[in-house]
Structure 1
């Protein structure tokens, strides 16, 4: 799976969203031309008797944002749904006459380190999603091959599998979703 490519020309920060406003914040940031990345995980859940794949945020209320400059960062902070940026304290030495003390400065991320983080997450999502492994025997639950036995040949991106279904005594490769198979 090709993971997201982090643009090293952008300045990367961590934004926290307001409770229950994550999607609205993502839409507002994208409308402001801010590059966003929110790591997500997949899980198979049962809803109303059907198995479906649910993608949820891996880090709750956290979004990685890429901006061009300080003005673009101010625009991102003001977006609806964005609570604040992750900051760290530094000593204020801006002008004479100010009261000495620490001020909060947004924590800037290293683009190369963030790219390594994204790559590790992408590899981890494919290696062992929901406990299904290559070579494992499964039964097809839905579609034209329902109730046929199969063997997992490959785990593909976007929660897909390639399985070998036994048709007329010969294995035939078929691509399907993870929710369409049941482990034995």
Structure 2
């Protein structure tokens, strides 16, 4: 007796809605005489929200660029997640002053600070924080223009994430000079450091006085200058 063929399962109807969350309306940069410095905080994987809450509890002003992703499936509960625009990074101002290494102290340089009533001695004791981006001189302050550019991308009200630029073939190779054509770093010059499969290109962008690695979608960059020897290889 012939077996009945199983009917293929219908493809679930999925709707994904991504909405950029607005930047704080009260970003404080201080005055020309007394500028207020902003820093780039590196967090644990998916720890941006915890880090933002902890820094706010410590009296810092926080700017966490992110968007809300809503996934709707037929006959299934709705799923909501907050996704970082820059995974594992956020901006913070008014950080406790650096004493020794990563140790933090209050404004008077002596007393400590507390989180939920618990005194902390190391910035990494704030849940979700790995470190503050730094160089040999200490924590790197982020130029105001960069923060304002990211804030403009996030907008002043919640709005849909801009659609990706049209798909096109990309022949980027490590060493190529490129320009970012989409996203918060649009118009920035960069150098390709690595091509990670088909969906991620790691580039080095000149930020904070040094080359900072940033992972981008290949559709977000445009090759302007080939690395030495690359043109010959593609011509072969």
- The TM-score, its normalising length taken from structure 1, stands at 0.49
Q: Which has the higher helix share?
A: 1
Q: TM-score, normalised by structure 2?
A: 0.40
Task: Please state which structure has a larger fraction of its residues in strand.
Answer: 1
